[in-house]
Amino acid sequence: MKLNENRIYDPIRQRNVLALPEEIVRQNLLLKMTKHLGYPKSLIAVEKDLNKLDHLKNKDITLKKRRADIICFGKDIEPNYPLYPLLMIECKADKLDQTTIDQVIGYNHLVEAYFLAIANRYEIITYWYNIKESCYNSVNFLPSYDELIQKVICKS
């Protein structure tokens, strides 16, 4: 992560962005994801406009300029789409609270990513929906890319 006068380089978007507190959280998380947890840069989107997701283009929904902080895609995990949202992450500069959890779960009613996460500078919580118990389960860390892909493949 390179700092340059209140700007920070985003290796996914390949440009300098303002080094706002939430952006610093996002860039630190992206670094951890790509350098230590095996998330391929080519399968990550930052501030992705939800209207541009392939699997939502043919649905009759209106998304009011909603963007996901980070979406990581999986290849061939859904039969009708070569790329499909594996993980959607909401980054916050402040404390993680129920409002943040509700926000990312609300977005996911449309996106239908297999996994969700919320993160700030100090913590990250990863969620997935447990169909048998009709609730979300969570862990207080971000699993590796391979771990998430294996969970999806084993469910099939």
27-69: pLDDT as tens digits = 999 999 999 999 999 999 998 877 777 777 666 556 566 788 9
Q: What kind of fold does domain 20-155 have according to CATH?
A: tt1808, chain A (3.90.1570)
- Where does the pLDDT of residue 4 fall: very low under 50, low under 70, confident under 90, or very high at 90 and above? very low
DSSP line for 66-129: -EEEEEEEEEEEETTEEEEEEEEEEE-SS---HHHHHHHHHHHHHH--SEEEEE-SS-EEEEEE
- Each domain of the chain, given as residue ranges in start order, spans 20-155
Question: Which pTM was predicted?
Answer: 0.89
